[in-house]
Amino acid sequence: MALRRGRGYASVNYPTGMNLGGDPSQALVHATTMGAFVVTLSSVDLGQGITTVARQCAAETLGVPVESVIVDTADTDTGPHCMGTFASRGTHRVGNAVIMAANEARAVMLQVAADELETDAEDLETDGTGYIVVKGAAQRRIHVSDVALAAHFAQGRTISGRGIYLKERNYPDPETGEMDPDSCQAHACTVADVVVDDETGVVEVVSLHNTYEVGRTINPGLATQQVEGGAWMGVSHALFESCEPGYPASRDHGPTSFSDYLMPGPADCPTQVSVLLERPAGTGPFGAKGIGEMTANAPIPAIANAIYDAVGVRLTVMPFTPESVLRGLDALREPR
């Protein structure tokens, strides 16, 4: 009896968004009297960081510090339309809508600034620190807060913008079957190292190495946490979670609370190394793709392949329990 080590690989590609009867999201942007910018969305942040990404997209487009941007997720009664937080669509759909709205607001902001500086809007640029300056004459400048004050109290103008990104519904070509069901696809590969106890059947995931091609990484910290948090879920699916073990024949032994619903604890979490690759998508906000859901996928078959590499047992039903490993080992020992 021994501890056996194995390594498994798995790769995945995953679509961004859906091919419903259209897949739109809207955004509104407006300046306050003091020059902050409010982004209004109905998109829900489930912890994946869409509010941070929306702030970054707005700030980059407007040319102002990210600290000057406030994101208000409102609700579905009062906010602009959003199809929802699903299908790994948030960054792609919402980011594009925010950029469109911010561009419209930026055009008004520059025109107000041009009137104050007595120049043409085409001759102005933002410096990213909160000032609008005349190109080639940086000493001629005006702060965004002064522009907002002028817009509200001198010129009677609203610095605002509207944006909507729509992925139109696409139908297959009747001759070839070719179609465009999504906006772009992200790609990933996970390498899993495991240790399998061939006496008890216990599987330990020692490490995961993740490589994700994400288009453009708008926020590397959030993207890395998305990858590694999703990988934790993959380990949980692979080795622990079994919400209805007897379904559909019987539901008698399903867990009734989180106290008896198995998930990995701190001692079960593997070491992770994650690398983000950039290959910008033509349709994405600054080239970004969606990676939300796919991060739980690749670890599962990688762990299954690693178990096979360690002890020769091919498991196809989750979770990969000690019992299933031992049954597989027994089957290998049976005379053929």
- Asked if the peptide bond before residue 319 counts as cis, ω within 30 degrees of 0, the response is yes
Return d(Cα 223, Cα 219) in angstroms, integer. Answer: 6
CB 51 within 8 A of CB 27: no
Dihedral sign from CA coordinates of 45, 48, 52, 57: negative
Residues assigned a catalytic role: 293
3-state secondary structure (DSSP) of residue 291: coil
131-140's contacts with Cβ under 8 Å and 24+ in sequence apart are 132/63
Task: Show the CA angle centred on residue 96, arms to residues 16 and 156, nearest 5°.
Answer: 160
Q: Which of 149, 146, 145, 117 is nearest to 133 (CA)?
A: 117
